[in-house]
């Protein structure tokens, strides 16, 4: 408690005499809670602020028995879990914070993925989509499809447009990439959007001409790096071998031509990765990256169905994640700044008022309204996973085809709207009461694919289990481990 | 310390007027809205609205003129382009604006609707309409090259339309001058006032609004007004909504430092739209003198809270500065955030500073700090001064 002694000159009133001072009772503002461990709860308010309370304190809080002169009450008042009679600015502030948190919704779709070819020179067992084909035209996007896709994209009201070229191996159809880039650029002279181009590639087919083109058109590169050589090559077999060597050489060439930060790497956690958290992190550090995204394997695609990749339980991934994160924190404390991106996304939601654009952790889901994907054949899907699912025969999230459907048709289709409204975590069983709801999201494609239902049954959902595990772990680190917290604070 | 008020001989038959000072060769335009500063070097020339006679000339032929005033030595600092107000009947000269100063501000009223426990300029309920009138005359005389001009009080928003007139005048006559207004923000609780200020379309206006606590009753206590927190918060939101830049100012004293980390968190969460957050040392003036013990805390004793608050805000992308603090009482990591902020006519150094290697970077003290200052002022040695590259804010994960 702040002390007012020694007292003010008597022409001033002491703090006890101000009307906004808490009286004996208080009003509870909207909040959710979840058990952190045996003795504590995590409480979150509407706008994503959290407090950790002993369970007994939570009980007293909700029974209106909390001492309003206590420090813990002041914390709850400060973070808008309660309000008191003399002041109601809390409600306005909560409204503004909620609006800030949801502000990306107003921006609408900003990520557009173009599958320029399904052909690929690799044969990764977990890949759901690539095709080895001699008939190059069967699986390449046609120019007229690409042109329609560009026109479609500019129908989105978003100020920022991110154009991502996907495959297969996207560079195998570089002429189409050029066509799309130039068409977007010329349209954008009049539109004036904030456009960014990304090519997702395994870098194997990269030529100097392509690099020149990327430099001139400010295109950045996203590639795959699964870890050290042996692991990467095991995950990504390729006729002629040594995908790792090609990736590392490619990364170096991209950096030389376009600058150090113009290449990002993604890793997929396979069953073989689980035993190598440190080795994977070390490889990322060795290759000069400042972060890694510990991405779990989609457990429902082609590969898992065909038994080519071993599925693993959420808990196995969590164990891997915690080990890797612990190692990364130690690296930071020893002087190597390095981030884990999935944690950063969630920390940003916990520790700042701002949203993140990450598609899988949104409510309403990011499907369609955050990102869309144009398949080589003109089909429009709600997400990359939705397209992969279609390759295994399930076209549930196909929203239309560029040849026949307009932007308006697609964005207002029942296939999209029904799914978005049915799966909002604000209202679905379990999430509705979950203390982590403000940080989490609904992943309808995942739940449809694994449980046959877009809402999903969260008690047995690995998506839920994984996120709960990550969030509990992060809150514990922030609360109980000062050294770790000092590092995590810098990742927002 | 530079004197801004001086006594002149009384002249009972002349009206008060505002004029620009013309001094030196090529100074001024020889215009009725100017007074010529006459010293030993330059001859007075006809055509000015009045003459100020430096010391030694009070016996000369000009002294007899009704529009010439001998001025005291303390006004020797008057320079070409300064703006003064002369009240012949009461025999007063007031320096309203100094062209060479980087901290000119216009005190528009002494009235206020709050009564802050540490107010350095205690409000007075007096009829002071002449202040606005005088500034409306002075603004067109100020140099267009003025970088920054302040508006203070009292509480300027109590002036209503006349405040809008001042801002409009600045927009029209000083379009390249940043205008910085200090307000308690409570009147911006009325969306209409926020809109009216926004609609003036001043090219570079920022409103600095104090916030003293994350808890409503504690803020209300510091400003001694029930409901002030809610009004100020809504005022800040209204201003932001209308597109007016806002700065949040926190004066640090014993009643505000205890919850400073919580206040920083509150600002980052609730008011992320603020363009600047200023954390300010206490000026030992006004009510502080009467509440010295309950307010005073040695800045060296709130280092952890201050460092925590700055880190929190900085990491969340907020633009944060520390004002009125001596470098030797701040953690090293905070130096890049410290600004030399004390007005040039108020700042001083103490004996310890003579040997200090950081003196050029340090803002020193308010003259008023002779009343009480940190007991831990220590001269810094050259090896303690960060290299030039450390001037941009960077904080490590483990300070
Ligand atoms: S999916 Fe699980 S962790 Fe996420 S909000 Fe729903 S119940 Fe909570
Ligand atoms: S000794 Fe004086 S000049 Fe040096 S840092 Fe301290 S207050 Fe500033």
* Residue A290 contacts B, CB cutoff 8 Å: no
Q: Report the separation in Å between the CA atom of B364 and the middle of ligand 2, taken as the mean of its atom positions.
A: 6
| C-alpha span between B241 and B197 (Å, rounded) | 12
- Inter-helix orientation angle A314-333/A277-286, to 10°: 50
- As a residue count, chain B comes to 399
Q: What are the structural domains of chain B?
A: 5-96 (no CATH), 105-390 (3.20.20.70)
Ligand 2 neighbour B342 (Cβ under 6 A): no
Which of B270, B311, B397 is opposite residue A97, by nearest beta carbon? B270
Tokens found for residue A110: 């900003």
A160 and A211 in a single domain? The answer is yes
Please give the full DSSP string across A212-278, using - where no structure is assigned.
HHHHHTTEEEEEE--SSHHHHHHHS--TT--HHHHHHHHHHHHHHHH-GGGEEEEEEE-TTGGG-HH
B349 close to ligand 2 (CB < 6 Angstrom): yes
Specify whether A211 is located in the same domain as A301.
Answer: yes
* pLDDT of amino acid A309: 64
Ligand 2 atom nearest the C-alpha of B359 is 3
Given A18, A47, A93, which is nearest B221 (Cβ)?
Answer: A18
Same-domain status, A148 and A118: yes
Q: Which of A68, A101, A134 is the last residue of a domain?
A: A101
- Token pair belonging to B241: 């909504």
pTM: 0.91
> How many whole angstroms from A392 Cα to the centroid of ligand 2?
72
Please tell me the distance between residue A362's alpha carbon and the centre of ligand 1 in angstroms. Answer: 11
Residue of A30, A28, A27, A2 lying closest to A16 (CA atoms): A2
DSSP code per residue over B38-68: E-SSS---TT-SEEEEPTT-TTSGGGGSTTE
- Cβ within 8 Å, pair A492-B237: no
Q: Do B315 and A14 touch (CB under 8 A)?
A: no
Nearest to A88 among B117, B217, B230 (CB): B230
From the list A47, A93, A354, which residue is nearest B233 (CB)? A93
Residue from B216, B220, B235 whose CB has the most chain A CBs within 10 Å, to mutate: B216
SS3 A41: strand
Cα A224 to ligand 1 centre (Å): 29
To test the contact with chain B by mutation, choose from A78, A348, A352, A481 the residue with the greatest count of B C-beta atoms within 10 A, namely A78
Classify the C-alpha dihedral B87-B91-B97-B103 as positive or negative: negative
CB distance B348 to ligand 2 below 6 Å: no
Looking at the structure of chain A, the number of domains it has is: 2
Nearest ligand 2 atom to the CA of B362 is 8
Measured between CB atoms, does A28 come within 8 Å of chain B? no
The domain boundary residue, chosen from A49, A70, A101: A101
Q: Both A154 and A285 in a single domain? A: yes
Is A477 domain-assigned?
Answer: no
Q: Is residue A486 part of a domain?
A: no
Please tell me the residue having the least CA distance from ligand 2 atom 3.
B359
Q: Which ligand lies nearest to the CA atom of residue B300 in the structure?
A: 2
Q: What residues of chain A lie within 8 A of the CB of B234, using their CB?
A: 89, 92
Please tell me the distance in Å from B15's CA to the nearest CA on chain A.
39
Q: How far is the centre of ligand 1, averaged over its atoms, from the C-alpha of A433 (Å)?
A: 9
CA distance linking residue B58 with residue B55, whole number of Å: 7
**What's phi and psi for A189, nearest 5 deg?**
-60, -40
Query: Does residue A347 fall inside a structural domain?
Result: yes
Q: What pLDDT, in 10s, does the model give residues B335-352?
A: 999 988 766 666 788 888
Q: Which residues of A touch B259 (CB under 8 A)?
A: 2
In degrees, to the nearest 5, what angle opens at C-alpha B41 toward C-alphas B37 and B43?
Answer: 65
**Rounded distance, CA A400 to CA A381, Å?**
7
B104-to-A59, B146, B169, B194, B364 alpha-carbon distances in Å: 56, 9, 16, 24, 19
Q: Looking at the domain assignment, is residue A15 inside a domain?
A: no
Give the residue ranges of DSSP H helices in A266-406: 277-286, 302-305, 314-333, 341-351, 384-391
String of b and e for A9-39 (b: at least 16 CB within 10 Å)?
Answer: eeebbebeebebbbeeebeebebbbbebeee
Distance CA B194, CA B238 (A): 6
Site to probe by mutation for ligand 2, drawn from B327, B335, B338, B367 as the one with most ligand atoms within 8 Å of Cβ, is B327
Evaluate whether residue A306 is within a structural domain. yes
With residue A484 as reference, give the H or E element that holds it. Answer: helix A482-488
Q: Which residue of B has its CA nearest to A352?
A: B269
Q: How far apart are CA B202 and CA B156, in angstroms?
A: 17
Spacing, Cα B322 to ligand 2 middle (Å): 15
Domain annotation covers residue A481 = no
Looking at residue B92, what DSSP letter applies? E
Q: Does A100 touch chain B (CB under 8 A)?
A: yes
A20 and B316 within 8 Å at the Cβ level: the answer is no
Report the alpha-carbon distance of residue A327 to residue A265 in Å, rounded: 19
- A391 DSSP β-pair partners: none
d(CA A4, nearest CA chain B) in Å: 7
CA of B383 to the centre of ligand 2 (A): 15
C-alpha span between A191 and A189 (Å, rounded) = 6
Q: Which residues contact B267 (CB under 8 A, 6 or more apart)?
A: B211, B248, B274, B277, B313, B318
User: Does residue A445 sit within a domain?
Assistant: no
- Cβ–Cβ of B397/A337 closer than 8 Å? yes
Q: What is the C-alpha to C-alpha distance for residues B141 and A118, in angstroms, rounded to an integer?
A: 72
**Token reading at B195:** 């809109």
Distance CA B111, CA B134 (A): 17
What's A166's DSSP letter?
E
The CA-atom distances, in angstroms, between B120 and each of B229, B285, B287 are 20, 5, 6
- Whether A261 and A408 share a structural domain: yes
Mutate to test the interface with A, among B213, B219, B221 (most CBs of A within 10 A): B221
At a CB cut-off of 8 Å and minimum separation 6, what does B116 contact? Answer: B210, B222, B223, B224, B287
Nearest to B54 by CA among B73, B36, B68: B73
Rg of chain B over Cα atoms, rounded to whole angstroms, equals: 23
Residues 316-335 of A with CB under 8 A from B: 332-333
Confidence (pLDDT) at B364: 85
Weakly modelled stretches of chain B, pLDDT under 50: 389-399
Picking from A78, A101, A124, the residue at the C-terminal end of a domain is A101
B-interface mutation test, from A7, A10, A12, A481, most B Cβ less than 10 A away? A12
Mean pLDDT in runs of 10 for chain A (492 residues)? Answer: 64 86 90 97 95 98 94 96 90 94 91 92 64 69 97 96 93 96 97 97 93 97 95 84 90 96 93 95 97 83 60 92 98 97 96 91 93 95 90 90 95 93 95 96 93 94 96 98 96 94
- Output the pLDDT for position B11: 87
From first CA to last CA, the distance across chain B in angstroms is: 38
Residue B368, pLDDT score: 79
Q: Which residues are within 8 A (CB) of B130 and not within 5 positions of it... i.e. 6 or more apart?
A: none
Span from the CA of A448 to the centroid of ligand 1 (angstroms):
16
Position A170 in a domain: yes
State the DSSP string of A407-466. Answer: HHHHHT-HHHHHHHHHT-TTTSTTGGGBTTGGG----HHHHHHHHSSSS--GGG-HHHHH
A59 and A122, same domain (yes or no): no
Domain extent at residue A328: 108-416
Do A379 and A338 fall into the same domain?
yes
Residue B284 exposed, middle or buried by CB count within 10 Å (0-12, 13-18, 19+): buried
List pLDDT tens digits, range B286-302: 898 888 888 889 999 99
Q: What is the pLDDT of residue A412?
A: 93
Q: Please give the backbone phi and psi of residue B127, each rounded to the nearest 5 degrees, phi first.
A: -80, 105
Closest A-chain CA to B225:
A18
CA–CA dist A380, B138 (Å, integer): 66
pLDDT score at B390: 45
- Contacts of residue B224 in chain A, CB cutoff 8 Å? 12-13
> Bridge partners of B150?
B105, B180
Instruction: With beta carbons less than 8 A apart as the criterion, state whether A440 and A425 touch.
Output: yes
A85 and A225 assigned to the same domain = no
- The beta-carbon neighbor of A15 closest among B221, B262, B269 is B221
Residue with the two structure tokens 């999230």: A397
- Identify whether residues A128 and A186 lie together within a single domain: yes
Co-location of A90 and A146 in the same domain: no
Which atom from ligand 1 is nearest to the alpha carbon of A434? 8
- Establish whether residue A362 lines the binding site of ligand 1, counting it when its CB lies within 6 angstroms of any ligand atom: no
Same domain, A76 and A191: no
| CA–CA min distance A226, chain B (Å) | 28
Can you give the CATH number for the domain in which A116 is found? Answer: 3.20.20.70
A233 and A188 in a common domain: yes
Say if residues B349 and B1 touch (Cβ distance below 8 Å). Answer: no
- Residues in CB range of A372: below 8 A, 6 or more apart: A109, A111, A112, A113, A380, A381, A382, A399, A410
């Amino acid at each position: 408690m702040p002390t007012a002694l020694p007292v003010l000159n008597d022409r001033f009133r002491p703090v006890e005499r101000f009307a906004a001072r808490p009286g004996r009772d208080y009003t509870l503002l909207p909040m959710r809670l979840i058990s952190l461990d045996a003795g504590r709860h995590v409480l979150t308010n509407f706008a994503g602020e959290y407090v950790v309370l002993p369970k007994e304190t939570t009980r007293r809080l909700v029974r209106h028995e909390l001492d309003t002169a206590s420090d813990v009450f002041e914390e709850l008042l400060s973070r808008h879990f309660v309000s008191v009679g003399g002041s109601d600015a809390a409600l306005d502030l909560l409204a503004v914070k909620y609006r800030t948190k949801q502000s990306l919704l107003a921006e609408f779709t900003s990520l557009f993925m173009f599958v320029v070819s399904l052909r690929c020179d690799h044969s990764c067992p977990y890949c759901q989509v690539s095709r080895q084909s001699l008939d190059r035209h069967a699986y390449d996007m046609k120019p007229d499809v690409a042109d329609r896709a560009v026109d479609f994209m500019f129908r989105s009201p978003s100020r920022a447009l991110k154009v991502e070229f996907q495959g297969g191996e996207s560079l195998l159809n570089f002429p189409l990439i050029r066509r799309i880039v130039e068409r977007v650029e010329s349209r954008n002279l009049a539109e004036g959007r904030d456009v960014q181009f990304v090519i997702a590639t395994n870098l194997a087919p990269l030529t100097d001409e392509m690099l020149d083109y990327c430099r001139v058109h400010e295109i950045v590169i996203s590639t795959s790096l699964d870890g050290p050589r042996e692991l990467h090559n095991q995950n990504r077999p390729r006729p002629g071998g040594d995908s790792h060597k090609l990736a590392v050489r490619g990364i170096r060439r991209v950096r030389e031509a376009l600058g150090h930060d113009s290449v990002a790497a993604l890793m997929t956690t396979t069953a073989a990765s689980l035993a190598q958290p440190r080795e994977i992190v070390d490889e990322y550090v060795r290759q000069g990256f400042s972060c890694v995204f510990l991405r779990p394997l989609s457990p429902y695609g082609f590969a898992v169905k065909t038994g080519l990749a071993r599925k693993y339980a959420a808990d196995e991934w969590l164990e891997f994640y915690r080990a890797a994160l612990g190692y990364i924190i130690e690296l930071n404390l020893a002087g190597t700044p390095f981030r884990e991106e999935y944690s950063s996304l969630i920390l940003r939601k916990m520790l700042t008022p701002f949203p993140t654009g990450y598609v899988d952790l949104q409510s309403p889901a990011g499907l369609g309204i955050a990102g869309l994907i144009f398949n080589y054949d003109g089909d429009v899907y709600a997400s990359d996973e939705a397209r992969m699912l279609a390759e295994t025969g399930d076209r549930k999230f196909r929203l239309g085809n560029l040849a026949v459907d307009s932007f308006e048709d697609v964005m207002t289709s029942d296939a999209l709207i029904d799914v978005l409204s049915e799966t909002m975590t604000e209202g679905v069983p379990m999430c509705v009461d979950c203390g982590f709801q403000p940080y989490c999201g609904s992943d309808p494609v995942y739940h449809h694919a694994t449980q046959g239902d877009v809402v999903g049954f969260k008690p047995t959902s690995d998506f839920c289990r994984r996120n709960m595990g990550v969030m509990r772990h992060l809150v514990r680190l922030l609360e109980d481990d000062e050294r770790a917290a000092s590092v995590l604070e810098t990742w927002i | 310390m530079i004197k801004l008020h001086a006594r002149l001989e009384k002249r009972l038959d002349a009206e008060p007027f505002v004029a620009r000072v013309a001094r030196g060769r090529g100074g001024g335009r020889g215009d009725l809205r100017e007074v010529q500063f006459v010293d030993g070097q330059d001859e007075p020339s006809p055509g000015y609205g009045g003459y100020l006679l430096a010391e030694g000339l009070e016996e000369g032929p000009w002294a007899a003129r009704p529009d010439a005033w001998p001025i005291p030595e303390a006004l020797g600092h008057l320079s070409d382009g300064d703006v003064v107000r002369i009240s012949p009947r009461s025999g007063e000269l007031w320096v309203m604006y100094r062209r060479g100063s980087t901290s000119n501000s216009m005190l528009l009223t002494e009235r206020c609707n709050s009564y802050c426990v540490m107010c350095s300029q205690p409000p007075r309920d007096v009829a002071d309409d002449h202040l606005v009138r005088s500034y409306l005359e002075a603004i067109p005389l100020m140099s267009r090259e003025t970088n920054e001009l302040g508006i203070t009080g009292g509480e300027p928003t109590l002036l209503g339309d006349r405040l809008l007139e001042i801002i409009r005048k600045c927009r029209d006559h000083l379009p390249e001058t940043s205008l910085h207004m200090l307000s308690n923000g409570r009147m911006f609780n009325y969306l209409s006032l926020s809109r009216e200020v926004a609609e003036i379309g001043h090219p570079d206006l920022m409103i600095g609004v104090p916030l003293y606590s994350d808890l409503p009753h504690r803020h209300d206590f510091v400003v001694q007004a029930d409901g002030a927190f809610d009004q100020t918060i809504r005022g800040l939101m209204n201003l932001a909504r209308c597109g007016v830049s806002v700065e949040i100012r926190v004066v640090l004293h014993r009643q505000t430092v205890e919850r400073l980390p919580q206040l920083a968190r509150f600002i980052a969460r609730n008011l992320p739209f603020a363009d600047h957050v200023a954390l300010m040392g206490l000026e030992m003036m006004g009510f502080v003198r009467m509440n010295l013990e309950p307010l005073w805390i040695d800045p060296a004793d709130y280092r952890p809270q201050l460092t925590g608050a700055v880190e929190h805000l900085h990491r969340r992308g907020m633009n944060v500065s520390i004002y009125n603090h001596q470098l030797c009482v701040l953690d090293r990591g905070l130096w890049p955030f410290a600004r030399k902020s004390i007005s040039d006519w108020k700042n001083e150094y103490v004996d310890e500073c003579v040997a200090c290697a950081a003196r050029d970077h340090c803002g020193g003290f308010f003259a008023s700090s002779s009343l009480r200052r940190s007991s831990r002022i220590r001269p810094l040695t050259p090896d303690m001064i960060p290299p030039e590259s450390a001037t941009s804010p960077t904080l490590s994960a483990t300070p």
